[in-house]
Amino acid sequence: MTNVRSIKSLYLYHNWPAWYQFLTATFCHANWNHLSSNLFFLYIFGKLVEEEEGSFALWLSYILTGIGANLVSWLILPRNAVSVGASGAVFGLFAISVLVKMSWDWRKILEVLILGQFVIERVMEAAQASTAISGTFRGGNSMQGVNHIAHLSGALVGVVLVWLLSRVPSQHPEGEVSTLERKKGRIQ
């Protein structure tokens, strides 16, 4: 049986966070609904990022957007807040998947618009539902609400990550071209 106190030590407590909690909180969830909704969207957007950029880029993107979302949440939210969940990283992967798929092909634009609208609505519904059902964290205090700061900052970190990586020339084996290289127009 897992010791719940040990798991709760991985949550991001804003009043006095340990350095590792900025990462570990992205792997912890308030309840089953919270976990399953994040896993569903992680599967969708993770798969898109992995198909376009590879598995290493997927993991790196998840970690950087998750840490970035938690860092911004810690800076902005009150000190009595507790952050937990992968939603910031999921929103980051959503932004990355949209940006690497973007092109002026009308089918791609339509795909992004439809997928984007669907995803934003579903992620927000799932986050609100998991908040309503969630139990207590510490001392009987229930979760106060959805961390929209983490959602927005995770997406923003994803945008910044794509922008930064689009500025870095990459070396590929002969014949291989990444999506970002094609987007930069360096290789046709």
One-character DSSP codes across 172-188: --TT---HHHHHHTS--
> Does the active-site annotation cover 87?
yes
Q: Which of 61, 83, 87, 153 is catalytic?
A: 87
∠ CA 36-39-41, rounded to 5°: 110
Cα–Cα distance measured from residue 92 to residue 161, given in angstroms and rounded to the nearest whole number? 9
Q: Which of 130, 151, 153, 178 is catalytic?
A: 151
Picking from 114, 84, 62, the residue whose alpha carbon sits closest to that of residue 17 is: 84
Cβ count within 10 A of residue 64: 19
Helix segments in the chain, DSSP class H: 4-8, 21-24, 32-53, 55-76, 87-101, 106-133, 148-166, 179-184
Cα–Cα distance measured from residue 70 to residue 66, given in angstroms and rounded to the nearest whole number? 6
> Does the active-site annotation cover 151?
yes
Helix axes 87-101, 32-53, angle to 10 degrees: 30
Annotated catalytic residues are 87, 151
